[in-house]
Structure 1
Amino acid sequence: MPLPHLPTLLARRAGLPGEGTTVYRAAHTTETDGLFTLDVAGDAGVLSLYADLSPEEETRLAAACGEAAGLAGIYLKRRPVEARHAANVTREWLSPPEPIWGEARAEIVALENGVPLLIRPGADLSIGLFTDARPARAWVREHAPPGGRVLNTFAYTCGFGLNAALGGAGVVKNVDLSRKVLAWGQENYALSRLPAQGTDFLYGDVFEWLGRLRRRGDTFDLVILDPPSFARGKSGVWRAERDYPELAGLAADVTAQGGRLLAMTNSASLSGPSFERLVASGLTQGGRRAHLDTRLHPGEDYPGATHLKAQVWALD
């Protein structure tokens, strides 16, 4: 197994992503010939593999990454093409709870632009934060409507909602289908000494909640859409490239006049222009006039990345 020259690769991150951030991508697939990524949170590393390696090769790569980056321990995530389908039956193989190299770090409080966030390197395939969305979270904090209302859908551990609250929003509602990650989000709020009332963390299907909020007459000055590119639910299979217009239309129903919609996707099969057409189609179907205001991209620790599309739409 040929390895890239890790010290040289990791040296490219010198000065990135900047002061006040201790969770970031240290090596991206564009720099490792698609073999692996390395994420850093504090003094722990998370090695994600996109190729089949022997146990000896896995350990050797983990040790090389840990030593080159000066980390205390490395956790392994195996990410075969069909990992999203296999996760429920082979979770411990995909994401071993103990480090493959070095010392254990069950929980780490890392910083993103000065905001403390709880990271659990061995908890699951997702460790508590998707670092490619850091610029989008920064945008939300900077542009949160002062005293206004924000709806954060597919909230995960509520990073977007937290930044909206820190940016001065008066009401922030976080919606997710997992009670576990919403509770995790409440812990993130507590780290910033923000109130985490249960009524602001809404458990359930996002589509059902969007319909419920519309029937209530609730509207929001900023709506955030960050769905998975693929998911199975009780209503069937969700695919971003097919179903995003419906989602955008439902979101338009609860976006206030003059409000904004932050629409995101990590679907590698969608180009930026294709995604733009999907969102525009959904907003039109929802009866709203809108224009694309801002395009956001992954940070500098994701060189050459094209998977994430984040677009801010202004609605009339």
Structure 2
Amino acid sequence: MTQIIELKVKPDFIGHYKNKFPLINKDAVVNNESLSLEGTLVHLVDDNGNFLGKGYYGNQNKGIGWVLSFNEGEKIDSVFFKNKILTAINKRQSYYKDENTTAFRLFNGEGDGIGGLTIDYFNGYYLISWYSQGIFSFKEKVISVLDELGDYKAIYEKKRFDTKGQYIDDDDFVKGERGEFPLLIKENGMNYAVYLNDGAMVGIFLDQREVRQALRDKYAKGKHVLNTFSYTGAFSVAAALGGATKTTSVDLAKRSKSKTIEQFSVNGIDFEQQDIKVMDVFDYFKYAKRKELKFDLVVLDPPSFARSKKHTFSTSKNYPGLIKDTLAILEKDGIIIASTNNASFGMKKFKGFIEKGFKDMSMKYKILEEFSLPADFQVDRNFNQGNYLKVVIVQKVN
């Protein structure tokens, strides 16, 4: 019989779980010291032993585990995993049938009922991300569901955990036929090169799909576009395909240049007509200001936290400053695509950062459009943190 540990929930947190809050916080339980083996099934109970929820123990940056069911009679077994994954797949049938988009999020953690687990689909390949040793212990159950479905070329995995919370970089191949990389995927008709076997990141963030489409279809034509924190240049590709007169991509990572060249090339774009800079974004702002460079549209999609030799950036502290730096090099009527994936605050606070940046520069703006996660990134309505993506497209008003 599988061992089940009872975790006693503190009175202040009982309401959370009665309202179906899925994350097990360390601060929410009295006896977390009784936990030792990740993957152990746990029952949350109140002071009187009344059932509140059941889940598993697994340390990750968000908490110490996830509630999988609020139904005392439901078993956490192979049938449970199969039902959750098949339900998720059924919701995404339209994505499978879309010939213009061949990569999407198939299973989105707690949004689809199993926190700590995501599964992405890349043109015939599955990529599973495990966010704790705890969820990784259920690997056989997850793989068996994908095997039962069949019709895949291979399964790859990312183990996004270790004792220090770092990515475990070993062979990501699980089974099937090893892919030849880069693998080309389509997103709204655009091509992107991805690598499922090369470190924690694959080369594109699927959650920005709708924003890239909007950039291409509505905002890029005739514009000089600056793409900051550009990673592999996915926004730059969308801008170029949307008729931008020129794109400038800036990222501190040395490999960003070759990766961006590759993304332009798989779309038939002459990369030599584009600017690709390997440098600190904040140094680039100073350089652009000194050279009196101006841009019609600037993409701001920084990591939640970043540190270089000269600068430390935190979204929650420094985003208004980032807006100010941008406004100094933005053309009249210029547009900013302001984005963050920081889950620690909501859209209202994020809009406040944007407003402060404009106010400090004595400038006005209007909001053109807003985005959050696309439909394949299902969100648990009882867990606001899960709806992490916030994108606001604003235009400077003179």
- TM-score with structure 1 length normalisation? 0.91
Give the whole-Å Cα distance in 1 for the aligned partners of 2:368 and 2:89: 35
- Could you tell me which of 222, 227, 237 is aligned with 1:152? 227
Alignment of 1:22 onto 2:102: yes
**Structure 2 CA distance for aligned equivalents of residues 219 and 81 of structure 1:** 44
Amino acid at match of 2:102: T
More displaced stretch, 141-150 vs 168-177: 141-150
Larger CA deviation: 4-13 vs 213-222:
4-13
Q: 1:238: Cα distance to partner?
A: 2.0
1:189 is paired with a residue whose SS is helix
Task: Give matches, 1:1-316, under 5 Å.
Answer: 2=77, 3-5=81-83, 6-16=85-95, 18-29=98-109, 30-53=111-134, 57-68=138-149, 70-80=151-161, 86-87=166-167, 91-92=168-169, 96-105=170-179, 106-197=181-272, 200-304=275-379, 306-316=387-397
AA aligned opposite 2:176: G
User: Residue in 1 aligned with 2:8?
Assistant: none
Identify unmatched segments of 5+ residues in structure 2: 1-75, 380-385
Whole-Å Cα distance in 1 between the matches of residues 163 and 362 of structure 2?
37
Structure 1 pair 102/115, CA: closer, same or farther in 2 (3 Å)? Answer: same
Offset at 1:148? 2.1
- Identity among equivalent pairs (%): 25
Task: Name stretches of at least 5 consecutive residues in structure 1 with no aligned partner.
Answer: none
C-alpha spacing 1:82/1:301, structure 2 compared with 1 (3 Å): farther
For 2:230, the aligned partner's letter is A
Displacement, 1:67? Answer: 4.2
Q: CA deviation at 1:213?
A: 0.5
Post-superposition Cα deviations, 1:38-89, rounded to whole Å, max 9, x if no partner, equal 0111111111112324866324423433543632211111224987x634xx
Asked if structure 1 preserves the Cα contact closer than 8 Å seen for 2:256 and 2:278, the reply is no
Instruction: Report the CA distance shift for 1:213/1:66 in structure 2 as closer, same or farther (over 3 A).
Output: farther
Aligned 8 A contact 1:115 1:192 in 2: yes
Q: Which amino acid aligns with 1:113?
A: N
Larger Rg: 2
C-alpha distance in structure 2 between counterparts of 1:162 and 1:82, whole Å: 37
Separation in structure 1 between the aligned mates of residue 136 and residue 221 of structure 2, nearest angstrom: 52
Could you tell me whether the CA contact under 8 Å between 1:59 and 1:101 is conserved in 2?
Answer: no
What secondary structure sits across from 1:292 in the alignment?
strand
Q: Secondary structure at 2:250's aligned position in 1?
A: strand
Q: Distance in 1 between matches of 2:150 and 2:286?
A: 47
How does the TM-score come out when normalised to structure 2? 0.73
- Structure 1 residue 298: Cα displacement: 2.2
Query: Relative contact order (alpha carbons < 8 A, sep ≥ 6): 1 or 2 greater?
Result: 1
* Structure 1 residues 51 and 145: CA distance shift in structure 2, 3 A: closer
Asked if structure 2 preserves the Cα contact closer than 8 Å seen for 1:189 and 1:195, the reply is: yes
Contact kept, 8 Å, 1:10 with 1:69, in 2: the verdict is no
1:182 is displaced (CA, Å) by: 2.4
Task: Give the count of matched residue pairs.
Answer: 309
2: distance between equivalents of 1:26 and 1:300? Answer: 10
Judged with a 3 Å threshold, the aligned counterparts in structure 2 of structure 1 residues 39 and 273 are, in CA distance, closer, same or farther, namely same
42-51 or 71-80, which deviates more: 71-80
